[in-house]
Amino acid sequence: MENIVLKVKDFSAYYGDKKIVKNINLVIKKNKVTSIMGPSGCGKTTFIRCINRMHEVNVDARITGKIFLHDNNICEMDPIIVRRKIGMVFQRPNPFPNMSIYDNVIAGYKLNGIKLKREEFDEIVEDSLKKAGLWYEVKSDLYRRSTFLSGGQQQRLCIARSLAMKPDILLLDEPTSALDPIATKHIEKLIEALKENVTIIIVTHNLAQAGRVSDYVAFMYLGELIEFGKAEKIFTAPEKKETEKFLIGKIG
């Protein structure tokens, strides 16, 4: 039995009275890429934001059900710790503009007041930037402001920043929708390499991308989890009608 990293049980999410995510049950396997796909408004972004408790930023948000990270209920854990173990990269690259590339990568440590020796920080920076495929492009410019980087490079910097916290899971919320095709390709290649180090959950509305990068696919529609399975199976012979309709373009 492959390692299970995340277990979602009877999970629902509400904004006020509106039920956005309806009763999801699924399991995320370690070191695999799981895509959550579906038409706009199906609840996939809301769902993924609950996994690292980002929904709590919104006052109206409420959840029921349980999510277990390695057998620990994330709602019973300190949200700060949850977010360090489950990192997130957003749709629009958002490196901290007032910080250098170096400081951006270790921002998670610095902003939390975690003090390490200079050599330890150097190592973390190099390791994270290498894993994000950005090291060789910026290693001579580490102390420059991050705003000088291109969109694709900024996004890889954000990935490095999340990786620096050594998370168990990396959540990617439509990470390439603001990028050009070449930058998108880089990130997709990166995802392939990254899964050796970290489990990846990616939300995408781009079918072709889901096909290219995923090991497992979850299809959501109108807040519900319609189907979940291996990518080859879902893309060649899905079991549910709605999945089929979505894949051939009839919905969404």
Instruction: Give residues in contact with another protein (CB under 8 A).
Output: 52, 54, 57, 79-84, 87-88, 90, 92, 94-98, 107-108, 111-113, 158, 161-162, 165, 188-189, 192, 208, 211-213, 231-232, 235-236
Say how far apart CA 95 and CA 151 lie, in whole Å.
10
Say how far apart CA 184 and CA 76 lie, in whole Å.
36
Residue 70 Cα distances to 4, 27, 74, 104, angstroms: 7, 11, 9, 29
CB of 11 closer than 8 Å to CB of 212: no
Identify which of residues 4 and 77 has a Cβ nearer to another protein in the complex: 77
DSSP state of 134: -
- As measured in angstroms, the least distance from the Cβ of 11 to another protein is 20
Say how far apart CA 134 and CA 149 lie, in whole Å.
11
- As measured in angstroms, the least distance from the Cβ of 25 to another protein is 25
CB of 134 closer than 8 Å to CB of 115: no
Identify which of residues 3 and 237 has a Cβ nearer to another protein in the complex: 237
- As measured in angstroms, the least distance from the Cβ of 109 to another protein is 9
- As measured in angstroms, the least distance from the Cβ of 70 to another protein is 17
Say how far apart CA 58 and CA 55 lie, in whole Å.
6
Residue 80 Cα distances to 83, 96, 198, angstroms: 5, 19, 19
Identify which of residues 69 and 88 has a Cβ nearer to another protein in the complex: 88
Identify which of residues 16 and 79 has a Cβ nearer to another protein in the complex: 79
- As measured in angstroms, the least distance from the Cβ of 23 to another protein is 26
Identify which of residues 81 and 139 has a Cβ nearer to another protein in the complex: 81
- As measured in angstroms, the least distance from the Cβ of 67 to another protein is 16
Identify which of residues 3 and 147 has a Cβ nearer to another protein in the complex: 147
3-class SS at 28? strand
Say how far apart CA 11 and CA 82 lie, in whole Å.
17
